[in-house]
């Protein structure tokens, strides 16, 4: 029994999807140009598909799970369960208007022509704000629509905003914050669920590790209590005596988010020779 995972064949999510599997210690045999590939050391089989098709394949059970953008999941509105946020493929679905225009709220859109590849999400935004507007569904290069007179406004995926800018547009309002998620088939069988749980455990360990750093530092013994109180560690910091009398080496795990502030405080408390190293996996 193998868990069938659908990932994007090529495009923005492809490399990150494969990288995540690799970080989970899962080796995929070469064959990215094929439709399918198997892992050599984990009971998983990969399907390479267009991202737009992944929710349907998962709903139908052709694939058990998929890695796909939330934007696609909600637009396609298939019967699948969103089970885990993967932390890559971050972007926003936003309205873009001409640079010289002033978007002063949803009513700006009244009776406008809106070009988008996301008609379902745009329509639901319009309904929610009781706005009448005309949606033109186009499948690619949405950002050129205002320039060629096809639409007044666009609604498209944005990350930096530079594509909008290059086309004389600016970001006006975000309707969805998106990232890649793991979706699964509704009513996944027991054997597949057991493999999925193993996979999720590994993904979680990789994600936690990325959020943390391992710190090693030298501390004068008279300030040891103060330094230890700054470092929570997984249980508590490790303290080892240095060959130099009066000094100890302290090892601990710290959150990336607290990093700079903590380093300042450690230095102020007399810590020296501070080393910070990345953590590959973290199991609590
Ligand atoms: P496919 O051939 O698989 O249909 P595509 O052209 O629809 O590919 P890509 O442009 O590769 O798709 O984008 C795939 C996903 O990457 C998007 O659905 C979205 O979730 C995510 N993404 C992240 N950042 C961006 C961005 N700046 N623009 C577009 N998509 C982004
Ligand atoms: Zn697509």
Q: Which ligand is in closest contact with the Cα of 141?
A: 1
Ligand with an atom nearest the CA of residue 90: 1
Residue 8 CA: nearest ligand 1 atom is 3
DSSP 248-271: EEEEEEEEGGGHHHHHHHHHHTT-
Report how far apart, in Å, the C-alpha atoms of 195 and of each of 23, 178, 268 are. Answer: 17, 26, 48
User: What pLDDT is attached to residue 4?
Assistant: 98
pLDDT (average), residues 229-249 = 89
Residue 33: its pLDDT value, please? Answer: 67
Nearest CA to ligand 1 atom 14: 12
Average pLDDT in the 266-274 region? 94
Pocket of ligand 1 contains residue 117 by CB under 6 Å: no
Q: Average of pLDDT values for 89-112? A: 97
User: What's the CA-to-centroid distance between 13 and ligand 1, angstroms?
Assistant: 7
pLDDT, position 31: 65
| Ligand closest in space to the Cα of 72 | 1
pLDDT recorded at residue 85: 97
Nearest-atom index, ligand 1, CA of 52 = 4
Report the range of poorest mean pLDDT among 130-139, 147-156, 211-220, 254-263: 254-263
11 lines ligand 1 (CB under 6 A): yes
Reported as a pLDDT band with limits 50, 70 and 90, residue 232 is confident
- How far, in Å, is the centroid of ligand 1 from the Cα of 11? 6
Q: With bands split at pLDDT 50, 70 and 90, how would you rate the model's confidence at 99?
A: very high
Q: Say how many Å lie between the first and final Cα of the chain, rounded.
A: 29
Report whether residue 157 contacts ligand 1, using a CB cutoff of 6 Å. Answer: yes
Query: Does the CB atom of residue 13 touch ligand 1 within 6 A?
Result: yes
Position in ligand 1 atom list of the atom nearest CA 72: 18
Q: Report pLDDT for 267.
A: 94
What sign has the CA pseudo-torsion 200, 205, 206, 211? Answer: positive
Q: Domains of the chain by range and CATH?
A: 3-89+179-209 (3.40.190.10), 91-178 (3.40.190.10), 212-278 (3.30.70.120)
- Reported as type and span, the H/E element at residue 184 is strand 180-185
Report the separation in Å between the CA atom of 10 and the middle of ligand 1, taken as the mean of its atom positions.
Answer: 10
DSSP 81-146: EEEEE-S-S-EEEEEEEETT----SGGGGTT-EEEES-HHHHHHHHHHTT---EEEE-SS-GGGTT
* 3-state class (DSSP) for residue 15: helix
Nearest residue (by CA) to ligand 1, atom 13, is 12
The share of the chain scoring above pLDDT 70, in percent, equals 98
The pick from 7, 14, 32, 51 for probing ligand 1's pocket by mutation, whose C-beta has the most ligand atoms within 8 angstroms, reads: 51
């Amino acid at each position: 029994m193998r868990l069938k995972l659908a990932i994007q064949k090529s495009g923005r999510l492809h490399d990150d999807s494969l990288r995540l599997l690799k970080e989970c210690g899962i080796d995929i045999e070469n064959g990215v140009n094929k439709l399918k590939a198997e892992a050599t050391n984990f009971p998983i089989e990969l399907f390479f598909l267009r991202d737009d098709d992944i929710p349907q394949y998962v709903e139908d059970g052709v694939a058990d799970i998929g890695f796909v953008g939330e934007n696609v999941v909600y637009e396609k509105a298939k019967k699948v369960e969103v089970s885990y946020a993967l932390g890559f493929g971050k972007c926003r679905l936003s309205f873009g208007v001409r640079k010289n225009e002033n978007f002063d709220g949803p009513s700006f859109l009244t009776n406008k022509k809106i070009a988008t590849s996301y008609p379902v999400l745009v329509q639901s935004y319009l309904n929610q704000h009781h706005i009448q507007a005309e949606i033109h569904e186009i499948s690619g290069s949405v950002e050129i629509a205002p320039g060629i007179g096809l639409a007044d406004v666009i609604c498209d995926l944005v990350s930096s905003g530079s594509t909008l800018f290059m086309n004389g547009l600016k970001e006006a309002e975000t309707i969805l914050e998106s990232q890649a998620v793991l979706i699964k088939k509704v009513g996944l069988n027991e054997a597949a669920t057991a493999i999925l749980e193993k996979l999720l455990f590994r993904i979680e360990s990789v994600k936690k590790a990325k959020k943390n750093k391992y710190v090693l530092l030298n501390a004068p013994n008279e300030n040891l209590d103060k330094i230890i109180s700054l470092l929570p560690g997984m249980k508590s910091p490790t303290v080892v005596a240095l060959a130099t009398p009066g000094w100890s080496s302290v090892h601990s795990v710290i959150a990336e988010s607290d990093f700079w502030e903590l380093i300042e405080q450690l230095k102020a408390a007399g810590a020296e020779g501070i080393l910070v190293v990345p953590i590959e996996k973290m199991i609590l």
